[in-house]
Amino acid sequence: MTWINGQFQSSLPVSDRGLAYGDGIFETIVCINQKLHLWFRHWQRLQQGAKQLVLELPEQQTLLNWIEQALADKNNPSLAVVKIIITRGSGGRGYKCPEQPQPRTIITIHPWLEHNDNDYQQGISAIVCQTCLSLQPALAGIKHLNRLEQVLAAQELLANNCREGLMLECAPAANDTSAKKIVTEGVSSNLFFVSRGQLFTPEITYSGINGTIRSELLERAQALGIPLATGRYELQEILNADEVFFTNSIFGILPVSKISYQQGQNSRHYQQRDVSMQLAKSLNPELQRPCQFNTL
Amino acid sequence: MTWINGQFQSSLPVSDRGLAYGDGIFETIVCINQKLHLWFRHWQRLQQGAKQLVLELPEQQTLLNWIEQALADKNNPSLAVVKIIITRGSGGRGYKCPEQPQPRTIITIHPWLEHNDNDYQQGISAIVCQTCLSLQPALAGIKHLNRLEQVLAAQELLANNCREGLMLECAPAANDTSAKKIVTEGVSSNLFFVSRGQLFTPEITYSGINGTIRSELLERAQALGIPLATGRYELQEILNADEVFFTNSIFGILPVSKISYQQGQNSRHYQQRDVSMQLAKSLNPELQRPCQFNTL
């Protein structure tokens, strides 16, 4: 079931710092016909995470061997999701790291998630979450194991029977009332929007995760001649946009048909799909996800 | 070695959400002669954590039985540290919680940490950490498992060969340069300071942990007739103070003799110990820690 540093294991020592402090990073990667989708981007993000946390990674080839071994144990399914967790291992006194950390790389193989064609054709409904994303430049961008904000936001999604939600930056403590509502990303995805033919996505500088599909689209948009900007955008700009879509490494590009805001009192519907369809045609088939939207 | 929900175990399933997302809370409690020091405060904080994370706790008596069982396994040491981790257990899809979570309570017993008399007599040196504490009211106060900020700050302590450090609030993203340097706490402790006979401690509203000793001192200061205020205080106020001390559930009250700031270019020395000694006389002996300071 689980491989730790290349050894078949059923469980983890409770002394692991991944459990104690969330002291580690992770990736979830779609594997199609024994090929890891956008592996180099996942590896780049692992390297960035290791740099920010001062954490030692295994060699790239060692990690790939361990993944191959774990997949072989599942008879190499043609579609699967590989989850990698790399922790700082056990030890240290309190929060302090041990002098010679022995990191653990934990690999588990999960079933590919079936999609609902309707989500891609009609688009999904999203809420604006009450749970905000705190500003922490030292942790922004990387996929670390401190994810309670996402867990709390996902509880809101469950309560609203919603698949995704927009997460705003937390307002500064001193100045709550006049604070701008800056959108960072989705609960488990990045966010893009289109206004007058231009594509925008929030910068990931103070909070949020640098998604692999997000990075990929930054390049593909350029290749497709779609003008793209990154920056700090207010919720109102997204509500005024022509198109909105979410991206992640599992579902690819998923259009948004509706955003409910002001705690569900108001909503905005989106019908245009020009740019998102163009990008989805380029990317979604690689993840075996649909790219034909009903434009209604 | 480890007890999970009252069962003797050596390890934890890697599917546990405590590992995946830091989805849980913890406590470390000093046990002296089979008595848990300030148990009711630890239990109160567990309840607060469970409330904020919407997490189910075991019954108090069940938890106490499990702790007793774990201590008995160690032949009831007269001095020990009990660590409790309560996670949301396994399951759920992505960040979303399972419909019927099965929380895990993990209990481990650790040796009591010997202290250095000198730290209590002379006071300790502290730095001002570069790693800041992000503002997240939804998580403030509780002792949750998302502790990467403390891990990064502890790396600074190791690099500076320092036992403790002051952590400042992260500056708001938009307005870095003019932001005030607001002090929240120590890396693994709360912070108090004394100015003109009055005691101050930062409020724990946007970040930081409501320490059990901090809560206890808020009450004992009143009983001892020491005027006390909580609020948002700037670093400069701590540098201008007459006395500074840290508190936590393991070391009790530990005076500060020196704070280095501006990346070690400047430092402030503290010699007065009037209020900290008065409080330490009341509290430290309960933790078998010294309360006689050399006032130099």
CATH number of A2-111: 3.30.470.10
- Find out whether A139 and B13 touch, Cβ atoms under 8 Å: no
Q: Could A146 and B150 be called an inter-chain contact, meaning their C-beta atoms sit closer than 8 Å? A: no
Right CATH for B117-287 from 3.40.50.300, 1.20.140.10, 3.20.10.10, 3.40.710.10:
3.20.10.10
Tokens 């500088």 appear where? A205
Q: Is B90 near chain A, with CB under 8 Å?
A: no
Average pLDDT on A77-96 reads 94
Q: Could A150 and B95 be called an inter-chain contact, meaning their C-beta atoms sit closer than 8 Å? A: yes
Average pLDDT on B231-253 reads 97
Q: Could A95 and B134 be called an inter-chain contact, meaning their C-beta atoms sit closer than 8 Å? A: no
Q: Is B69 near chain A, with CB under 8 Å?
A: no
Q: Could A14 and B232 be called an inter-chain contact, meaning their C-beta atoms sit closer than 8 Å? A: no
Name, in order, each residue with C-beta under 8 angstroms of A279's C-beta and a sequence gap of 6 or more: A217, A220, A221, A224, A226, A253
Query: Which backbone phi and psi does B112 adopt, to 5 degrees?
Result: -60, 140
pLDDT greater than 80 at residue A57: yes
Q: Is A159 near chain B, with CB under 8 Å?
A: no
Q: Which residues pair with B269 in a beta bridge?
A: B258
Average pLDDT on A62-84 reads 94
Q: How many whole angstroms separate alpha carbon A276 and alpha carbon B281? A: 67
Confidence of residue B294 (pLDDT cuts 50, 70, 90): low
Confidence of residue A235 (pLDDT cuts 50, 70, 90): very high
pLDDT at residue number A183:
98
Confidence of residue B68 (pLDDT cuts 50, 70, 90): very high
pLDDT at residue number B279:
96
Q: Is A85 near chain B, with CB under 8 Å?
A: yes
pLDDT in tens, A102-135: 999 999 999 998 899 999 999 999 999 999 999 9
Containing B183, the helix (H) or strand (E) segment is strand B182-186
Name, in order, each residue with C-beta under 8 angstroms of B10's C-beta and a sequence gap of 6 or more: A11, A13, B1, B2
pLDDT at residue number B47:
98
Q: Could A13 and B11 be called an inter-chain contact, meaning their C-beta atoms sit closer than 8 Å? A: yes
Q: How many whole angstroms separate alpha carbon A257 and alpha carbon A271? A: 7
Tell me which DSSP letter residue B175 carries: G
* Substitution target from B93, B151, B204, B209 for chain A, most A beta carbons within 10 A: B151
Taking CB atoms and an 8 Å cutoff, what residues of chain A touch B94? 154, 188
Å between B61 CA and nearest CA of chain A? 23
Confidence of residue A207 (pLDDT cuts 50, 70, 90): very high
Tell me which DSSP letter residue B135 carries: P
Å between A243 CA and nearest CA of chain B? 26
More confident residue, A171 or B80: B80
Q: Which residues pair with B104 in a beta bridge?
A: B87
Q: How many whole angstroms separate alpha carbon A73 and alpha carbon A169? A: 42
More confident residue, A26 or A172: A26
pLDDT at residue number A171:
85
pLDDT at residue number B174:
64
Q: How many whole angstroms separate alpha carbon B63 and alpha carbon B69? A: 10
pLDDT at residue number A10:
81
Query: What residue ranges in B58-175 does DSSP mark as E strands?
Result: 79-87, 104-111, 124-128, 164-168
Taking CB atoms and an 8 Å cutoff, what residues of chain B touch A96? 154-155, 157-158
Q: What is the mean pLDDT of chain A?
A: 94
pLDDT at residue number B264:
87
Q: How many whole angstroms separate alpha carbon B49 and alpha carbon B86? A: 10
Nearest to B95 among A11, A97, A151 (CB): A151
Nearest to A134 among B19, B96, B136 (CB): B136
pLDDT in tens, B228-241: 999 999 999 999 99
More confident residue, B253 or A92: B253
Confidence of residue B93 (pLDDT cuts 50, 70, 90): confident
Judge whether B2-111 and B117-287 match in fold.
no
Q: Is A184 near chain B, with CB under 8 Å?
A: no
Q: Is A2 near chain B, with CB under 8 Å?
A: yes
pLDDT at residue number B60:
98
Percent with pLDDT over 90 in chain B = 88
pLDDT at residue number B296:
47
pLDDT greater than 70 at residue B107: yes
Q: Is A153 near chain B, with CB under 8 Å?
A: yes
pLDDT greater than 90 at residue B76: no
End-to-end CA distance of chain B: 44
Interface of B with A in 16-35 (CB under 8 A): 16-23, 26
Å between A296 CA and nearest CA of chain B? 31
Å between B273 CA and nearest CA of chain A? 27
pLDDT at residue number A74:
86
Average pLDDT on A60-88 reads 95
Q: Where are the domains of chain B?
A: 2-111, 117-287
Q: Is A142 near chain B, with CB under 8 Å?
A: no
Confidence of residue B197 (pLDDT cuts 50, 70, 90): very high
Q: Could B85 and A153 be called an inter-chain contact, meaning their C-beta atoms sit closer than 8 Å? A: no
Output b/e per residue, A121-132; b: 16+ Cβ within 10 A.
Answer: bebbbbbbbebb
pLDDT at residue number A73:
87
Taking CB atoms and an 8 Å cutoff, what residues of chain B touch A97? 151, 154-155, 158
pLDDT in tens, B119-158: 999 999 999 999 999 999 999 999 999 999 999 999 999 9
pLDDT greater than 50 at residue A296: no
Confidence of residue B177 (pLDDT cuts 50, 70, 90): low
Helices A148-159 + B39-53 axis angle, to 10? 50
Confidence of residue A28 (pLDDT cuts 50, 70, 90): very high
Nearest to A146 among B95, B148, B154 (CB): B148
Q: Is A136 near chain B, with CB under 8 Å?
A: yes
pLDDT greater than 60 at residue A295: no
Q: How many whole angstroms separate alpha carbon B36 and alpha carbon A106? A: 35
Q: Could A20 and B85 be called an inter-chain contact, meaning their C-beta atoms sit closer than 8 Å? A: yes
Structure tokens at B74: 């160690």
Confidence of residue B85 (pLDDT cuts 50, 70, 90): very high
Q: Could A19 and B13 be called an inter-chain contact, meaning their C-beta atoms sit closer than 8 Å? A: no
Average pLDDT on A30-57 reads 97
A–B interface: beta-carbon pairs under 8 A: 188
Name, in order, each residue with C-beta under 8 angstroms of A103's C-beta and a sequence gap of 6 or more: A24, A55, A56, A57, A58, A86, A87, A88, A89
- Find out whether A17 and A103 touch, Cβ atoms under 8 Å: no
pLDDT greater than 90 at residue A96: yes
